[in-house]
Copies of this chain bind each other. A is one copy, B any other.
C-alpha cells in the first residue's frame, strides 16, 4: 500500500542506488513531490530486500555502502502500482488553510502574510525555472522527470498568482473601509 515503498522501487528502476543516494534524491528532484528521511528509508529498503523486490548488488563499499538494484518482481510491482491502484489525491496545504483565518488579523498583517507567500513562491519558481532551462531530456526517465518538473512549476506559478490576487482583495476591502 505505502507510497514510500513504491517511490523507492520507482527510483531504483532507473539504476541501482544506495539508501544514501535515495535520501539525497528525496531532497532534490523527487523532493518536490514527496519527501522522506534516511530513518524511514533504511528500514524500508531492508523490508523490500526481504520481500525480494530489490536485491543488494555485490559487496558493501569501503564505507559500508550498500547498493540495491530492482528485481523483476520489483519492476512488476511498480507497474502494478501505477496501473492498478488509485493515487491518494487529498491535498493538505497549510498555506491555504491559514488563508481561511486571515480575517482574524489586521489587514496589514494579512497582507504581510500574503506578501511573504508571494515572495517565497517567486523564489521557488525561479529555482524550478532555472532547472527547467538546463534540462534537455534525451531519455525516457528524464522526459518523465521533465513532466514532473512542469507540474511543480505550474503549481508554484499558480500559488504566486493567487497570492498576488489575494493581496488585491485585501487592499480593496481595506480601501472601501477607509473611504
Interface residues of A (CB under 8 A from B): 3, 7, 10-11, 13, 29-30, 32-35, 75, 78-79, 82-83, 87-105, 109, 113, 120, 140-141, 143-148, 150-152, 154-155, 157-159, 161-162, 165-166, 169, 173
Interface contact B147-A102, CB-CB below 8 Å: yes
What residues on B are CB-neighbors of A161 within 8 Å? 154
Cα(A55)–Cα(B146), bound, Å = 51
Cα(A159)–Cα(B13), bound, Å = 26
Closest Cβ–Cβ distance, residue A109 to chain B (whole Å): 6
* Nearest chain B residue, comparing its CB with the CB of A35: B90
Q: List 8 interface pairs A-B (beta carbons < 8 Å), by A numbering.
A: A3-B94, A30-B97, A33-B91, A93-B151, A99-B144, A100-B144, A102-B147, A154-B159
Cα(A148)–Cα(B163), bound, Å = 10
* Nearest chain B residue, comparing its CB with the CB of A124: B89
Interface contact A82-B101, CB-CB below 8 Å: yes
Check A92/B33 contact, CB under 8 A, given A102-B147, A105-B83. yes
Cα(A78)–Cα(B32), bound, Å = 29
Interface contact A100-B148, CB-CB below 8 Å: yes
Partner of A97, one of B34, B75, B96: B34
Interface contact B91-A104, CB-CB below 8 Å: no
* Nearest chain B residue, comparing its CB with the CB of A154: B158
Cα(A101)–Cα(B33), bound, Å = 12
